[in-house]
Amino acid sequence: MIKTWLTDTFNIKYPIIMAPMFLVSSNEMLIKAAEAGIMGCIPALNWRTPEEFEEGIKELKEKCQGPFGINLIVNKSNIHLKKQIDICAKYVPVFYHYFSWKSGEVIKKCQPNGTKVICDVVDVTYAQKVESLGADAIIAVNSGAGGHAGPTPASILIPLLKKNCNLPVITAGGIGTGTGLLSALSLGAEGASIGSPFIATEESPVSQEYKDAVVQYGAKDIVLSTKVSGTPCTVINTPYVQKIGTEQNMVESLLTKNKKLKKYVKMLTYYKGMKLVENAAFAATYKTVWCAGPSIEFINKIEPVKTIVDRLISEYEVALEEFKNKLS
């Protein structure tokens, strides 16, 4: 039995969130996560329109035997934000999003309906800001995370946030073993938000090629690329990624610095990058740009969501016993 703020607040068995992953997360994965005793999260962006999003949430409300979270992009690039917030507020899921200076509006709108708002942060400044806005907890995104990683390792970030902020801290990044989970909890985290290890699951909707890559490649094969969204994002260093490079080309970076064109160039880079990632996620293509973090190191085969959760917990229990033996 593991008892933390995360397990108590959401009435889940284990202190694990299956992290929201653009294109990867699906309702089926969230349903299986709940059956396995953890809470799954999904980006609203995985549905194309607010109408499809609402249908998706209704399905989750009906079939998911536990809590689930929705991840929103809270900035101007998200043209459906207002409608998405209304839908979240209506159906009361957990709500989880990237930090934004507009977080306050979201918190005010959703909390009265019982929705918990958990914000991604990468440092103390962001953490204190969302604390002052009334967030319920923070996700501490560390330098080992898949996707847009933070600059600080977990061993520094968790204690730093614990010392300077009064919100419950959930760690995100690099957890793929039970020992990793134990170490995060010992550092003071209330749970872990785990993404990359769930990409190669039986329930995941992505292509066989993407799943096989997660199994075959390891931590040493992860590089940061600005080609995907304009900001550094972790991808598998496939031959195609090596061919196109991980930095924007000279024309793109010159245009990004131009005051008038900056906004449009960023939007174009984002759009082109997202299309590339989307095509690679679902089809067999030689343009293999697959997003994943270093914790794919611990994934050696394609398995059901529940098998991964069970393994994390049994490894955690063994590690805890070994640790207790060291003390006695």
Q: Which of 2, 24, 70, 161 binds ligand FMN (CB under 6 A)?
A: 24
Q: How far is the CB of 328 from ligand FMN (least distance, A)?
A: 33
Q: Which of 295, 298, 303, 313 binds ligand FMN (CB under 6 A)?
A: 295
Nearest Cα residue to 235 out of 243, 224, 226: 224
Residues 180-209 that bind ligand FMN (CB under 6 A): 193-196
CA distances (Å), origin 18, targets 155, 209, 211, 228, 304: 21, 22, 17, 23, 13
21: contact with ligand FMN by CB under 6 A: yes
| Residue nearest ligand FMN, CB atom distance | 195
145: contact with ligand FMN by CB under 6 A: yes
316: contact with ligand FMN by CB under 6 A: no
Instruction: Judge whether 16 and 180 are in contact, CB under 8 Å.
Output: no
72: contact with ligand FMN by CB under 6 A: no
The SS3 of residue 292 is: coil
Instruction: Judge whether 144 and 174 are in contact, CB under 8 Å.
Output: yes
Which runs of E-coded beta strand occur in 154-210? Answer: 169-172, 192-194
Q: Count CB neighbours of 215 within 10 A.
A: 15
Backbone angles phi, psi at 276, to 5 degrees: -60, -45
Q: Which tokens is 303 given?
A: 């398995």
177: contact with ligand FMN by CB under 6 A: no
Q: Count CB neighbours of 233 within 10 A.
A: 23
The SS3 of residue 232 is: coil
Binding track over 124-143 against ligand FMN, x by CB under 6 A: -----------------x--
Identify which of residues 85 and 145 has a Cβ nearer to ligand FMN in the complex. 145
Q: Which of 146, 180, 230, 273 binds ligand FMN (CB under 6 A)?
A: 146
Q: How many amino acids of this chain bind ligand FMN (CB under 6 A)?
A: 26
Q: Cα separation of 90 and 268, whole Å?
A: 33
Q: Which of 10, 14, 22, 298 binds ligand FMN (CB under 6 A)?
A: 22
Interface residue list for ligand FMN (CB under 6 A): 19-22, 24, 43, 71, 98, 120, 141, 144-147, 172-175, 193-196, 291-293, 295
